[in-house]
């Protein structure tokens, strides 16, 4: 893949109330803001604001992966234990492969902040050549899980999950994505790092 290929990222906010206009969605703006600060490679977003029901979530993920050809899809919302929280079920239903390390690590990161992190059911999967990751619903939690936990002086105490995303995209045939190391340093084995 050429280094100039644009990374296409699907951003899906899953909320009954935001999708019907009861309140303004905060998930997509939070994701766009964080990605704009973290990515140094060219990228563009495909955004969707949908209700918290499994058929809608599945259809949206399929459409973004298969037709819009997103390399990465980040969802926010619908990952708790409540009856209406079905994002993980919908994500698993469209998956070719599970990537359990992402969910495990997101819960571990969130446990630095709240004991209820163990109630989160986020999953990550691969569908064809698309990595799909369920993120938490709150903007603060989205940033923490992507970027990690920092000490008061700014040093990283617990690396965020996005450090592993660019290399995962390499392995499934996506474009070579680079990050601003001051926000999140993408990790690749030395043999996979391309000269600038």
Rounded Cα distance, 61 and 7, in Å: 17
pLDDT tens-digit map of 127-165: 999 999 999 989 999 999 999 999 999 889 999 999 999
Beta strands 43-50; 7-14: pairing state? parallel
Phi, psi of 23 (to 5 degrees): -145, 165
Instruction: For residues 171 and 121, give the distance between their C-alpha atoms in angstroms, rounded to a whole number.
Output: 25
pLDDT at 4: 58
Residue boundaries of the structural domains of the chain: 7-192
3 state SS of 117: helix
Among the four given CATH numbers 3.30.420.10, 3.40.980.10, 3.40.630.30, 3.30.930.10, the one describing domain 7-192: 3.40.980.10
CA gap 159, 109 in Å, rounded: 8
Express each pLDDT in 13-22 by its tens digit. 998 787 777 7
């Amino acid at each position: 893949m050429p280094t100039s290929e644009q990374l296409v990222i699907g951003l899906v906010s899953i909320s009954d109330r935001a999708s019907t206009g009861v309140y303004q969605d905060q998930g997509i703006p939070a994701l766009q803001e964080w990605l704009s600060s973290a990515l140094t490679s060219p990228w563009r977003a495909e955004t969707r604001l949908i209700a918290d029901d499994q058929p809608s979530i599945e259809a949206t993920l399929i459409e973004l992966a298969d037709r819009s050809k997103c390399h990465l899809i980040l969802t926010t919302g619908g990952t708790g234990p409540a009856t209406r929280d079905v994002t993980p079920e919908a994500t698993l239903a469209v998956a070719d492969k599970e990537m359990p390390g992402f969910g495990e690590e997101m819960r571990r990161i969130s446990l630095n902040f709240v004991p209820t992190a163990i109630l989160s059911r986020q999953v990550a999967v691969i569908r064809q050549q698309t990595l799909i990751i369920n993120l938490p619903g709150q903007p603060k939690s989205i940033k923490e899980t992507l970027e990690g936990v920092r000490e008061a002086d700014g040093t990283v105490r617990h690396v965020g999950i996005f450090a592993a995303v660019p290399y995962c995209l390499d392995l499934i045939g996506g474009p070579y994505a680079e990050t601003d190391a001051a926000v999140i340093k993408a990790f690749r084995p030395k043999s996979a790092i391309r000269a600038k």
